[in-house]
Structure 1
Amino acid sequence: MLSCNVSNNQSVQVISSAKEIPEKIQERIQRYDQKIIRSLKEENALSIDSISSAFFKKETDIKSLASMMPQISTLLKGLTPIQKDHIYLTTNPSALTSSKNTVLKGSDDYNFELPINSEQMYISSYLFNSKSDGYMMTLIYSLHKNQWFLDRINLGSYSFYGKNALDFYNKGIEHMEQGHLIDAFIALEVSSNLLQPSSGNLNYLKSDDITQTLQFVSKSINEKYNFPFTLQVGTSNIEIFRIYSQRVGKDGFFPVIDYKSTFDISDTTALQLENELLHDSIEKVFPGILKNKSWLFYGSYNTIPSSEVQTPKHSFAHQLDSL
């Protein structure tokens, strides 16, 4: 099912092919996996605690684990686990003294990085997909005195709308090449938010590229538009001071344009007319912003908000038909 693995630690032997992992070990781990997933869905912290290692209990006591259960259960209930990685590794005792993490190739364009604390260890990962969100669970085990124990449970966002970090990165690059900087920024920002589905134990091979490209696009936008900047809309001179993304349920991520209006927030009729004029000209200001999306949002303010003071605003939502 998976190809043979590689490691940066020459004293570590790694197997990630289901056919090559010893059958008894694979069966034992799969039973543990099923027990843990069932316990998380049923909010049974004691069941997980019974197979946890001393390392796990040191890092996460049972009270902390129990307090996280309701949120985890809500995320996973009704979702079927799909196995993604299963990696079995063995090493000699001398490798256990190393303080460096061992790097293990995953089934996709990512590596697992973890300290080796046992002569035998096992990594299982699963995907749980809903229509809009995908979660990745990574379970790390170690063998002590001929018994397997759970060392870590990591659960994080792996995808949105069926697209993972690399998919959003590639979309961001495509938008860059088209000169659509705002769309590029949003896609790259989402990509960046999906880089850690396994709490530091998983690193995408393109992680640095994603971070650097996001920084480059962000800098390019700020240099081009020099926020806040003034834009004439009809007889008004509004100030556009911020653009960010907003997630809309099962639809996706869409731009929000915040600006300082010349009309009082209470004058909704004047605000509406001003916003319609702004919307009619927005594609010329931000190329691509009306293309291939369902929504575009605006926030109209009388003063540019600060972090210290809550500032009233009037919101506008434009449903687009460009999909």
Structure 2
Amino acid sequence: MKFKPSLSQVLGLLLITVTLQSCEPTQPGNWKNEQISSPDKFHQLNAELLKQLKVNNEKDLENIMSRDFIDTRGKNRQIELVSNRVKTTDYTLFDEYYVVNRYISGDTISSGIKGPTGYSLTYQGATHEMYLAFFVPKNKSTANQDMITAVYCKYDYGWKLSQLDVSRYKVNGKTAPELHDQAQQCYNKGFLIDALNISSSAIDCSRPSDLWKYNSEEDMSSFYNKVLKEAYGLYRFPLAIKQVPSHPYIIRIFNQTTPEGVFPMIYYISSIKVQDTTAIKQENENIKKVINQTLPGIDQDKKYVLYSAFNKLPSGMKVDHFDMTAKLK
């Protein structure tokens, strides 16, 4: 016996269909996180994206990409960079936005967060409906963290990935505004090199996504330029470490990225042959005792200071050197 639905059942099915189709707003606007009324379909897209990035299967990834993204020059390299992060780190959703665009040209969304930690998102309104997802590492204790951004657009052939990028989000467990605040504290203490290095890290983290701009970005940039100018005026390289009898002199100071975080690296020229590791280590012990007099604050409030001793200036060619780590905590 063939089942024949009643009129009331047909009307009921139609009502469900209409409800499902109209579950998302159609008027221009944007909705963040829990404000999104039906996030499941987007979360399914995210789960599939992260799954395919983990194995970096180009064919399966293209199944979820827009036609324009597939044809983008440099796409494979960009996918590779993001895939490398996902292969080594588990990511979780940090913020998400569903948007109905008013304009095809650029549009801006405010995070709704006041003060320096707040941010805005500027993007091209490629289609009427879009979904923006931002992912960060699940392990919050990871020192250096990257943010992954995925942008989806609703085309006449379905929801597809239209943009993907990855950028630095945290250094030493801190976001750009937090690093900026730390750099200002160092500056107020007279720790100019620390202020410069940490401010440089803040700049590195200031755009964790191509779409993202912190409210305090201009303040970060202005402060960095101010400290850089003062540091150039105060420190002239080569910089002698006068209190050490062997007369080593510093030729370069910069941020060195390690798995445990970002720490100051000091390159210096020694008159002691770097092959004589016992003597080089002893000289370095003498340097560590007085380095705070030459570079105030450099050996405070951090886990490590890294040193590399040379006998001649490093150049494009390989130069013998000896690396040492001062553990402070």
TM-score tier after normalising by the smaller chain length: 0.7 to 0.9
Rounded to whole Å, the distance in 2 between the matches of 1:17 and 1:273 is: 58
Change (3 A) 1:231 1:70: closer
Secondary structure of residue in 2 paired with 1:175: helix
Q: Residue 312 of structure 1 corresponds to which residue in structure 2?
A: 320
Rounded to whole Å, the distance in 2 between the matches of 1:312 and 1:195 is: 36
For the pair 1:50 / 2:58, whether they are aligned, the reply is no
Rounded to whole Å, the distance in 1 between the matches of 2:44 and 2:282 is: 63
For the pair 1:197 / 2:205, whether they are aligned, the reply is no
Rounded to whole Å, the distance in 1 between the matches of 2:253 and 2:88 is: 36
Q: Residue 148 of structure 1 corresponds to which residue in structure 2?
A: 159
Q: Out of 169, 172, 183, which is 2:180 matched to?
A: 169
1:247 deviates by: 3.0
The within-5 A match list for 1:273-312 is 273-306=282-315, 308-312=316-320
The within-5 A match list for 1:31-46 is 31-46=44-59
What are structure 2's unaligned runs of at least 5 residues? 1-26
For the pair 1:224 / 2:234, whether they are aligned, the reply is yes
The within-5 A match list for 1:250-265 is 250=260, 252-265=261-274
Rounded to whole Å, the distance in 2 between the matches of 1:102 and 1:183 is: 38
Rounded to whole Å, the distance in 1 between the matches of 2:55 and 2:63 is: 15
> Aligned residue pairs: how many?
297
For the pair 1:110 / 2:119, whether they are aligned, the reply is yes
Change (3 A) 1:31 1:76: same
1:243 deviates by: 1.0
Whether the 8 Å contact between 1:181 and 1:217 is mirrored in structure 2 is yes
Rounded to whole Å, the distance in 1 between the matches of 2:274 and 2:166 is: 43
TM-score by length of structure 2 reads 0.79
Q: Which is greater in Rg?
A: 2
1:239 deviates by: 2.2
Secondary structure of residue in 2 paired with 1:236: coil
Q: Residue 206 of structure 1 corresponds to which residue in structure 2?
A: 216
| Letter matched to residue 38 of structure 1 | K
CA RMSD, 1 decimal: 2.6
Q: Residue 251 of structure 2 corresponds to which residue in structure 1?
A: 241
1:221 deviates by: 1.8
Rounded to whole Å, the distance in 2 between the matches of 1:227 and 1:284 is: 16
Give aligned-pair identity as a percent: 22
Q: Out of 75, 85, 92, which is 2:85 matched to?
A: 75
Secondary structure of residue in 2 paired with 1:237: coil
Change (3 A) 1:106 1:46: farther
What are structure 1's unaligned runs of at least 5 residues? 1-11
Rounded to whole Å, the distance in 2 between the matches of 1:246 and 1:140 is: 32
